[in-house]
């Protein structure tokens, strides 16, 4: 309608332009037509405006619908994400913390997408692996604790056995104790200990713990295959009746079913073998072999200690016998010889009617007998008592005070400071006896009123000097009767590798000096 009105309006404008003479009449129509056209145009504009508003409203509605749809999609997406991702992840996190706290009993079961289920299954597999590993660790720990406790008990037992064996110094007691402890400690039925002879040709049975019928032989050549294998080995051999070249031939077939054989080794030297047997098959394990090796090492040391102790006892006994023999020879032997000589002189004096001289000799004989008796008593006391642990100067002073208390003379003791001799008990005993003899001679025979004793060191020698103010004698002449003790003093000095120097003159006193090497 608007278009037709516009075309009509446009046609009227063309007519006016073409016929100006008719423009007056047409102008009125044109005005009316213009108003109509304006109204039509206004209506069209309003229609367009209404259509535009309707489109805008529709657009807003669409946008609102889109917004609501987007929010709904976001909500649904959040819900789906939470259910399919966040919630399973939280559950997996809780499961991971539980696994981290070593709580492995509950299964890991997380619902969700396939990926989450796969991850959940991986976590559960890991839980099962950890649970299995924990069970194994617990079992290993229990076994380890059991083995440690068992090994500790074995070591404590071995230590007790070692102390008991080492405390014995008699060889046979050590042998018996070793076999008894080996049989008890290893749970065997029989235990035997053999030692190699001096020629290294034979192994000889020395001790047995168990039934006597378990042993069928008491010697075995060291070059026999089994013996050679044991003696050249560094550890215990686990043997049976069909292994180790038939096993130990000293054991009966019954006890060779299962037995151990360990060398008794001291350094590179083998002194014997220790065996433990049982009639049960496979009675002994590797731990038993290790235990017997340790016990054999302890037994070897204990046997060597006992042997050395016995050897030391024999040496000490021989040394003591030599010392007693030397003392008897130097002291009592010569005293008896002197008494025999004096007795012969008494008999001669009596035969010649010299009763006074005979009585005088008998008096000297009595003095000599008393002195010999005292010497014997002192020797017996020394044998019965523990050897003194005092130094030589202290013992010398004690001996000097003892003699001075028995005689009427003034004693002066003058040792050099810090020069006390370091000597063996045997040497110290001889020095004290020589000084004692010199002091007694000064008191009994020289009539001394004062005796001085000097002691010290000069160069490489020690010395002790006894000087008195007695009657003295001519040292260039043979010792007079009553000075037989000088011979004993010389003999004692020679026994310790020393010497005696005597300086004396009639009525000028006597000086006796003992020298011995430092």
pLDDT of residue 262: 93
Q: Which residues contact 323 (CB under 8 A, 6 or more apart)?
A: 426, 429
Which is it for the CA torsion 95, 98, 100, 106, positive or negative? negative
pLDDT of residue 511: 93
Query: For residues 102 and 77, is the Cβ–Cβ distance under 8 A?
Result: no
In whole angstroms, what separates CA 408 from the centre of its chain?
64
Report, as an integer, the average pLDDT of 154-158.
74
Report, as an integer, the average pLDDT of 411-418.
89
- Number of Cα atoms under 13 Å in the Cβ half of residue 12: 18
Is pTM beyond 0.75 here? Answer: no
In the structure encoding, which two tokens stand for residue 463, read together? 């010395």
Residue with tokens 């001790």: 207
In whole angstroms, what separates CA 139 from the centre of its chain?
30
pLDDT in tens, 227-261: 888 898 888 999 886 777 767 888 888 888 898 99
Kindly state the helix (H) or strand (E) to which residue 486 belongs, with its residue range. Answer: helix 485-495
In the structure encoding, which two tokens stand for residue 155, read together? 């070591």
Residue with tokens 């805008």: 56
Query: For residues 56 and 83, is the Cβ–Cβ distance under 8 A?
Result: no
Query: For residues 258 and 236, is the Cβ–Cβ distance under 8 A?
Result: no
pLDDT score of 50 more than 80: yes
pLDDT in tens, 64-113: 999 999 999 999 888 877 777 777 777 777 777 777 777 777 777 667 66
pLDDT score of 154 more than 80: no
- For the beta sheet containing 461-468, the strands, ordered from the edge strand earlier in sequence to the opposite edge, are 410-415, 450-458, 461-468, 510-517, 499-504
In the structure encoding, which two tokens stand for residue 339, read together? 């008494």
Query: For residues 88 and 110, is the Cβ–Cβ distance under 8 A?
Result: yes
**How much is the mean pLDDT over the chain?**
82
Q: Directed axis angle between helix 286-327 and helix 114-166, to 10°? A: 20
In the structure encoding, which two tokens stand for residue 504, read together? 């004396």
Q: Which residues contact 143 (CB under 8 A, 6 or more apart)?
A: none
Provide the residue count of the chain: 518
pLDDT of residue 306: 81
pLDDT of residue 482: 46
pLDDT score of 389 more than 60: no
Q: Which residues pair with 259 in a beta bridge?
A: 239, 277
pLDDT of residue 462: 93
pLDDT of residue 407: 80
pLDDT of residue 331: 62
pLDDT score of 43 more than 60: yes
CA–CA separation, 490 and 445 (whole Å):
18
């Amino acid at each position: 309608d608007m278009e037709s009105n516009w075309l009509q309006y446009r046609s009227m404008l063309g007519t006016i332009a073409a016929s100006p003479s008719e423009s007056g009449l047409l102008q009125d129509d044109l005005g009316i037509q213009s108003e109509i056209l304006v109204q039509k145009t206004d209506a069209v504009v309003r229609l367009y405006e209404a259509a535009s508003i309707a489109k805008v409203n529709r657009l807003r509605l669409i946008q609102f619908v889109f917004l609501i749809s987007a929010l709904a999609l976001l909500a649904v997406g959040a819900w789906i994400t939470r259910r399919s991702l966040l919630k399973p992840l939280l559950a997996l996190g809780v499961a991971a913390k539980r696994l981290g706290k070593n709580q492995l009993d509950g299964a890991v079961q997380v619902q969700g997408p396939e990926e989450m289920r796969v991850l959940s299954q991986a976590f559960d597999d890991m839980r099962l692996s950890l649970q299995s590993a924990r069970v194994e660790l617990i079992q290993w720990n229990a076994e380890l604790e059991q083995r440690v406790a068992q090994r500790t008990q074995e070591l404590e037992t071995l230590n007790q056995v070692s102390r008991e064996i080492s405390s014995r110094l008699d060889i046979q007691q050590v042998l018996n104790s070793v076999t008894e402890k080996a049989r008890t400690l290893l749970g065997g039925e029989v235990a035997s200990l053999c030692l190699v002879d001096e020629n290294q040709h034979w192994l000889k049975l020395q001790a047995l713990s168990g039934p006597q019928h378990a042993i069928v032989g008491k010697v075995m050549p060291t070059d026999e295959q089994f013996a050679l294998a044991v003696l050249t080995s560094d550890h215990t051999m686990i043997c049976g009746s069909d292994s180790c070249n038939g096993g130990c031939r000293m054991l009966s077939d019954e006890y060779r079913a299962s037995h151990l054989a360990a060398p008794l080794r001291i350094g590179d030297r083998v002194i014997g073998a220790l065996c433990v047997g049982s009639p049960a098959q496979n009675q002994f394990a590797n731990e038993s072999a290790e235990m017997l090796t340790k016990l054999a090492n302890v037994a070897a040391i204990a046997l060597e200690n006992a042997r050395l102790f016995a050897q030391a006892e024999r040496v000490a006994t021989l040394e003591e016998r030599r010392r007693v023999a030397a003392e008897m020879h130097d002291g009592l032997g010569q005293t008896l010889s002197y008494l025999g000589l004096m007795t012969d002189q008494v008999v001669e004096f009596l035969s010649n009617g010299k009763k006074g001289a005979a009585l005088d000799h008998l008096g000297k004989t009595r003095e000599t007998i008393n002195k010999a008796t005292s010497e014997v008593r002192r020797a017996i006391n020394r044998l019965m008592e523990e050897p003194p642990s005092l130094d030589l100067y202290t013992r010398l002073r004690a001996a000097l005070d003892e003699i001075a208390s028995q005689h009427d003379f003034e004693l002066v003791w003058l040792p050099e400071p810090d020069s006390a001799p370091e000597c063996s008990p045997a040497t110290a005993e001889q020095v004290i006896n020589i000084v004692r003899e010199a002091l007694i001679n000064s008191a009994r025979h020289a009539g001394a009123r004062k005796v001085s004793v000097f002691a010290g060191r000069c160069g490489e020698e020690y010395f002790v000097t006894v000087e008195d103010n007695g009657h003295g004698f001519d040292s260039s002449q043979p010792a007079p009767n009553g000075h037989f003790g000088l011979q004993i003093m010389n003999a004692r000095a020679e026994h310790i590798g020393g010497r005696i120097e005597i300086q004396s003159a009639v009525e000028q006193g006597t000086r006796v000096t003992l020298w011995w090497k430092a």
